[in-house]
């Protein structure tokens, strides 16, 4: 075939580019891991490509550091991200079902409205949000990081699209004939059908909330309520040169390892989910 | 003949089910937005422990923002976004094209996809902190470069405008190119194989196929990627904030708009923060409208028109 030879060359070229890019993606995490396994004195001597045996000691140092309560931070982050993921997916499904299965006067307007605010940045309302939270007495608490995720237009849109493709309305009709109440139909019949969509969006919401820095940094004040990104930021703001470098690398490591672990197990679903939603988060 | 039973009206359930969303939106987004807009017309800040205002001053906050460094920060944001976006879209288009091209026989497609998407999930603030330690004058990158004999003395990456901006752009590139690749891949796979087969028969080479068939047909997704990326770029905060410790150093050349907003919020300068938010709201409102058009209208994105154009071009 005429185009056989150029394809062969192109294939080699494509593989080289892909390997270089993958190297770029992994190289920094490799350095992070290596450096987290070495002691401060060791790190001062220069870079080594092989891991040391100091990881456990570094972890202990991180755990015992009262100025940067990293493990407390991880716990806070887990609570915030877990709750956000749960209520965000539940209420987004509920909203999507309300607009999908029922015909009412304001339906079109409500749908158009949600689509219009689909990609609106939260930062533009940050100032009013901060004042509102303060007035409601929720300043320096984890609640304002969780509750607003009830209204997530992007997750709603994903759920709505999923319903259009996989939830036949005849099923809802059948449940009605069998005497199931509307709310019960949603919880017992619709939610189980939505499981794959909920799983994908729960992961994305969890990750987004885990990594969120802007809003928590405004709302959280006291050390024992800080989430992981704020702790990392205070680490950057502290007098950095006097620090045990091994400990710093270990802190960064514990901040990102939970997500990497989740990703390694669920990468197939996550990557499939990126295109399903078609919405960047 | 039986009388038709009156149909039960279920619409109240619809309202009930969408109520939590709208209630939550109203409380946590709408009220804050109204409050933000209101205070943008007030002189309201804190100097020391004394609170000044709120006094109504009309558009003064807007005017003084225009005279301040806001436009410079908008320029910074644009530059930082472009440094990340241009390589991102070029590489993503290239990779997406390769992944779907079965004749290239890419081995380990799934592995590469997993790896290039990984940085997108990493906490941006931790990633920035990692880059800060690695690219500091006594960090591992300088150590590696000098042990390879490439440099004689440590390079101060974060001390120069070029170094800091490149690092921010590079990090944004790393974090987003995998995501964009996967999106574009889905778009290319959505094109009917018939079109590609027909082009093959007509003797189209891979370059022609890419520029005259693939590119016009994925235009809606490209536009969507572009606009959402601009919105993301407008919100750029975590990476430059942590990398430069909120200073936007050197000499505030990497200060973004949201970092500016954040510093106003931290110093409780509510009037200015409000006015700045309104500027951002207007810009993002326009961008949102474009996204709305792309995702909703039948042919507003020009996909059908593009398909027609592609056909016409092919016929020539």
pLDDT at B306 over 70: no
Residue B151's nearest CA partner among B137, B161, B171 is B137
pLDDT in tens, B24-48: 999 999 999 999 999 889 888 887 7
Q: What's the gap between Cα A245 and its chain centre? A: 27
* Cross-chain Cβ contact A91/B13 below 8 Å: no
Mutation for A interface: B97, B123, B232, most A CBs within 10 A:
B123
- Which helix (H) or strand (E) segment holds residue A21: the answer is helix A4-36
| Minimum Cα–Cα distance from A153: chain B residue | B21
pLDDT of residue A258: 87
* Cross-chain Cβ contact B32/A229 below 8 Å: no
Smallest Cβ–Cβ distance between B144 and the set A47, A120, A131 belongs to A47
* Cross-chain Cβ contact B20/A3 below 8 Å: no
pLDDT at B313 over 70: no
| Minimum Cα–Cα distance from B125: chain A residue | A229
How high is the ipTM of this complex? 0.88
Q: With the CA atoms of B150, B79, B133 and B126 taken in that order, what torsion angle do they form, in degrees rounded to the nearest 10?
A: -140
Q: What is the mean pLDDT of chain B?
A: 86
Smallest Cβ–Cβ distance between A256 and the set B15, B98, B122 belongs to B122
* Cross-chain Cβ contact A115/B182 below 8 Å: no
* Cross-chain Cβ contact B36/A92 below 8 Å: no
- Residue A232 distance to chain B (closest CA, Å): 6
pLDDT in tens, B124-182: 999 999 999 889 888 888 888 888 888 888 888 888 889 999 999 999 999 999 999 99
* Cross-chain Cβ contact A3/B134 below 8 Å: no
Counting residues of chain A whose pLDDT is more than 90, the rounded percentage is 44
Ordered domains of chain A (ranges, CATH): 4-56 (no CATH), 60-277 (1.10.3720.10)
Contacts of A251 (CB under 8 A, 6+ apart): A62, A68, A70, A231, A232, A235
Q: Give the Cα separation of B203 and B91 in Å (integer).
A: 26
**Helix crossing, A55-64 with A245-277: angle to 10°?**
90
CB contact at 8 A, B229 and B83? no
Smallest Cβ–Cβ distance between A182 and the set B13, B103, B116 belongs to B13
Partner residues linked to B52 by β-bridges: B45
Q: Is B8 helix (H, G, I), strand (E, B) or coil?
A: coil
The residue to which tokens 């009388």 are assigned: B3
* Cross-chain Cβ contact A256/B127 below 8 Å: yes
- Residue A213 distance to chain B (closest CA, Å): 7
pLDDT in tens, A117-142: 888 888 889 999 999 999 999 899 99
CB contact at 8 A, B174 and A25? yes
Of A3 and B230, which is predicted with more confidence? B230
pLDDT of residue B73: 93
pLDDT at B300 over 50: no
* Cross-chain Cβ contact A127/B32 below 8 Å: yes
Length reported for chain B? 316
Length reported for chain A? 281
Smallest Cβ–Cβ distance between B98 and the set A14, A114, A122 belongs to A14
Q: Give the Cα separation of B243 and B222 in Å (integer).
A: 30
Confidence band (pLDDT; 50, 70, 90) for A110?
very high
- Residue A25 distance to chain B (closest CA, Å): 6
- Residue A129 distance to chain B (closest CA, Å): 5
B122 touches chain A (CB under 8 A): yes
- Residue B115 distance to chain A (closest CA, Å): 6
Q: Which of A191-205, B22-36, B56-70 has the lowest mean pLDDT?
A: B56-70
Smallest Cβ–Cβ distance between B277 and the set A124, A236, A252 belongs to A124
DSSP character string of B114-130: HHHHHHHHS-HHHHHHH
* Cross-chain Cβ contact B117/A274 below 8 Å: yes
C-alpha separations of A11 from A57, B178, B180 in Å: 46, 20, 21
pLDDT at A186 over 90: yes
pLDDT at B49 over 90: no
pLDDT of residue B307: 60
- Residue A179 distance to chain B (closest CA, Å): 13
- Residue A91 distance to chain B (closest CA, Å): 7
* Cross-chain Cβ contact A124/B281 below 8 Å: yes
B89 touches chain A (CB under 8 A): no
Ordered domains of chain B (ranges, CATH): 69-315 (1.10.3720.10)
Mutation for B interface: A123, A158, A277, most B CBs within 10 A:
A123
pTM for this predicted structure: 0.88
* Cross-chain Cβ contact A151/B29 below 8 Å: yes
């Amino acid at each position: 075939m005429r185009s056989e030879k150029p394809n062969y060359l192109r294939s080699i070229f494509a593989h080289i580019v892909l390997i270089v890019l993958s190297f770029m993606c992994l190289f920094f995490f490799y350095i992070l891991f290596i450096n987290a396994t070495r002691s401060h004195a060791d790190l001062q001597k220069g870079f080594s490509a092989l891991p040391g045996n100091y990881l456990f000691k570094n972890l202990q140092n991180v755990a015992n550091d009262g100025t940067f309560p990293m493990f407390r931070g991880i716990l806070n982050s887990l609570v915030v991200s877990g709750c956000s993921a749960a209520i965000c997916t539940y209420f987004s499904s509920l909203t999507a079902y309300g607009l999908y299965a029922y015909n009412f006067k304001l339906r079109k307007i409500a749908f158009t409205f949600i689509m219009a605010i689909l990609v609106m940045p939260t930062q533009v309302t940050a100032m009013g949000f901060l004042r509102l939270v303060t007035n409601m007495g929720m300043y320096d608490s984890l609640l304002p990081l969780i509750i607003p995720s009830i209204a997530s237009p992007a997750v709603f849109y994903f759920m709505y699209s999923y319903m259009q493709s996989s939830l036949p309305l005849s099923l809802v009709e059948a449940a009605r004939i069998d005497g199931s109440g509307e709310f019960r139909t949603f919880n017992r019949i619709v939610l189980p059908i939505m499981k794959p969509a909920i799983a994908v969006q729960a992961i994305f919401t969890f990750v987004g909330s885990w990594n969120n820095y802007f809003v928590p940094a405004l709302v959280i004040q006291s050390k024992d309520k800080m989430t992981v990104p704020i702790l990392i930021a205070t680490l950057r703001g502290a007098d950095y040169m006097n620090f045990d470098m091994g400990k710093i690398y270990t802190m960064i490591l514990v901040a990102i390892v939970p997500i990497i672990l989740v990703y390694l197990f669920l990468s197939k679903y996550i990557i499939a989910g990126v295109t399903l939603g078609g919405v960047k988060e | 003949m039986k009388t038709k039973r009156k149909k039960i009206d279920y619409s109240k359930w619809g309202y009930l089910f969408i109520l939590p969303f709208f209630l939550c939106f109203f409380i946590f987004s709408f009220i804050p937005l109204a409050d933000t807009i209101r205070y943008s017309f007030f002189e309201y800040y804190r100097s020391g422990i004394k609170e000044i205002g709120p006094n109504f001053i009309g558009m003064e906050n807007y005017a003084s923002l225009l005279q301040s460094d806001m436009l410079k920060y908008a320029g910074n944001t644009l530059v930082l976004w472009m440094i990340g976006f241009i390589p991102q879209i070029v590489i993503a288009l290239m990779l997406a094209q390769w992944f779907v091209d079965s004749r290239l026989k890419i081995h380990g497609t799934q592995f590469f996809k997993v790896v290039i998407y990984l940085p997108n999930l990493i906490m941006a603030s931790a990633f920035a902190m990692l880059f800060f330690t690695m690219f500091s004058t006594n960090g591992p990158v300088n150590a590696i470069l000098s042990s390879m004999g490439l440099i004689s003395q440590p390079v101060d990456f974060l001390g120069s405008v070029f170094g800091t901006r490149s690092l921010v752009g590079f990090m944004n590139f790393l974090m987003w190119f995998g995501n964009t690749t996967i999106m574009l891949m889905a778009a290319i796979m959505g094109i009917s194989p018939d079109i590609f087969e027909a082009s093959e028969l007509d003797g189209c080479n891979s370059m022609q196929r890419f520029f005259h068939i693939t590119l016009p047909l994925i235009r809606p997704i490209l536009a969507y990627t572009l606009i959402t990326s601009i919105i993301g770029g407008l919100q750029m905060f975590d990476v430059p904030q942590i990398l430069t410790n909120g200073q936007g150093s050197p000499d505030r050349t990497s200060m973004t708009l949201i970092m500016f907003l954040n510093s106003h919020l931290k110093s409780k300068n509510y009037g200015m923060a409000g006015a700045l938010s309104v500027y951002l709201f207007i810009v993002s409102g326009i961008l949102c409208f474009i996204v709305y058009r792309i995702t909703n209208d039948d042919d507003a994105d020009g996909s059908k028109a593009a398909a027609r154009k592609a056909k016409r071009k092919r016929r020539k």
